[in-house]
Amino acid sequence: MLSRYLKAGVVAIVGLCSSTVFAMPHGQPVARQSRPNDHELNRQRADAVKEAFTHAWNGYYKYAFPNDELHPVSNGYSNSRNGWGASAVDALSTAILMQIPTIVNPIVEWIPTINFDIAKDDSEISLFETTIRYVGGLLSAYDLLKGPLAKLATNQNAVDSLLKQCERLASNMAFAFDTPSGVPNNDIYFNPPRTNGGTTNGLATIGTLVLEWTRLSDITGNETYGDLTQKAESYLNSPKPPSSEPFPGLVGSRININTGRFEDSQGGWVGGTDSYYEYLIKMYVYDTTRFAAYKDRWILAADSSIKYLASHPASRPDVTFLAMYNGRQKIFYSQHLACFDGGNFILGGLVLKQQKYVDFGLALTEGCRNTYASTATGIGPEVFRWVEKDTPTNSKANPPPPANQVEFFNKAGFWSTGSNYVLRPETIESYYYAYRATGDQKYRDWAWDAFIAINSTARTASGFANLDDVTKPGGGGLGDFQESFLFAEVLKYSYLIHSPDNEWQVEHNGKNKWVFNTEAHPLKVVGPLV
């Protein structure tokens, strides 16, 4: 059955022709498309992604449930997220959107049995990871099953327990905010409640809590959750000292939890800082009335990124990446993680009705597409670098490509410094936003290309494995770990881009009734729709 889908996709891809794309904000007609819309092809592709999701779920459920992750080569399992069934919780919102009741209901029935008072083996708990995966996953499932997809659930008492369990988990973690400043410690333990003793926290790990905890407050009526995270966020949005903001809106990466002051001035749109910027505009989407100041900070960061961080490799001036920075020095370094940035700029442009952000987001998305199209597997690397035409050859911050990668850099505009792939979603995520903004079918084709590459290279008999080296045919060998975000993000965005329009889709009828957290869990918007 799957071969039919693959064949259909290959035929469609071969038949593509290129054209200029014009993104139109909020409901205006798309000027041109790279090919006509094909509803049957879309259905076949969505069904193929759904089959891949079901394949991965069945393997996890058989060999690993209710543990956190499947080891998809050895069929073992692990508990890197405290033994609360991370893959099941992360999979739930995707199974709901795919409308697979045979997966949805067993998860919903099981969640009330999770003991969120105890972490397996008293393991260290990440406030950030637990928030985006567990809190976000439970809230999203609750919103969907109490809203547009309530018909899927057979046990409404169990649906009610999703919220109760979410509140219990957040309440158990709330002591992390008991610091002199209110900036939380990210690394905590439950029995007894304690931290790891660290004195700093990261920009993203502080700034990627506010959406989920505010949503929890809004549903429960308990303002404590939102208040805690919004107070922590206040230090990020009014950074001190001034030197920690080398460009307007762009700040450092480490914050002292005792004082709330930044301890450095380096950062960018990469791992460790990325989702702080992501959530600034998403909080505005969530409630334009309460979080207009967050939007203003996003605009500052976006404008500075376009002005100061946009970078074009010496060998490929047509390609656009975002550089990192250390103070005001640019570092030509990026990651697969950063490839969400195109989608975030596009979202900002749509809701603010600012075409310049959509256009820049499309350029960033094309840059990340280039990292996929340039490798032997058709999948982008974990870490990559480049230099600009005027970069000194003796630069320590931006060294030239090593001799064995000069030829590749001359052709592709980047070289890999970390060539593995851990089932990350960010490039497909940006394709999704690009398609929702423009209606251009090429973004569906790019997402299909990525899905085919992952499905043909990383798929095992029971799931999907991480790859050792995407620059080598076959991925250079398989690892033995299946991240929970395969379910939450990779397969969700791969499915949604091909599936019919509906209220949970970005830019549905020119408005956003839902906003996706950084783990791709959709949460219901409460403010005036934009």
Residues 6+ apart with CB under 8 A from 144: 93, 96, 97, 504, 522
Distance of alpha carbon 494 from alpha carbon 505, whole angstroms:
13
Helix H segments across 111-147? 127-130, 136-145
Residue 245 annotated among the catalytic residues of the structure: no
SS3 category, 467 = strand
Q: Residue 327 CB: number of other CB atoms within 10 A?
A: 13
Residue closest to 455 by CA, chosen among 54, 12, 37: 54
Residue closest to 350 by CA, chosen among 150, 506, 183: 506
CA 353 to centroid of chain Cα atoms: 23
Distance of alpha carbon 234 from alpha carbon 243, whole angstroms:
17
Question: For the chain, how are helix, strand and coil distributed in percent, rounded to 5?
Answer: 50, 10, 40
Distance of alpha carbon 210 from alpha carbon 177, whole angstroms:
13
Q: Give me the helix-helix angle, 355-373 and 441-457, nearest 10°.
A: 30
Out of 69, 233, 278, 382, which one is annotated catalytic?
Answer: 382
Q: Which two tokens stand for residue 177?
A: 């905010």
Distance of alpha carbon 12 from alpha carbon 176, whole angstroms:
51
Residues 6+ apart with CB under 8 A from 420: 381, 382, 466, 467, 468, 469, 470, 479
- Contact status, residue 119 vs residue 184, Cβ threshold 8 Å: no
Residue closest to 520 by CA, chosen among 340, 280, 302, 274: 340
Distance of alpha carbon 442 from alpha carbon 435, whole angstroms:
8
- Contact status, residue 431 vs residue 443, Cβ threshold 8 Å: yes
H-run or E-run covering 53: helix 39-63
- Contact status, residue 465 vs residue 374, Cβ threshold 8 Å: no
- Radius of gyration (C-alpha) of the chain in whole angstroms: 22
Distance of alpha carbon 269 from alpha carbon 137, whole angstroms:
24
| Residue pointed to by tokens 């259905």 | 43
Alpha carbon dihedral 242, 245, 249, 255, in 10-degree steps, equals -100
Q: Residue 264 CB: number of other CB atoms within 10 A?
A: 16
List active site positions. Answer: 382
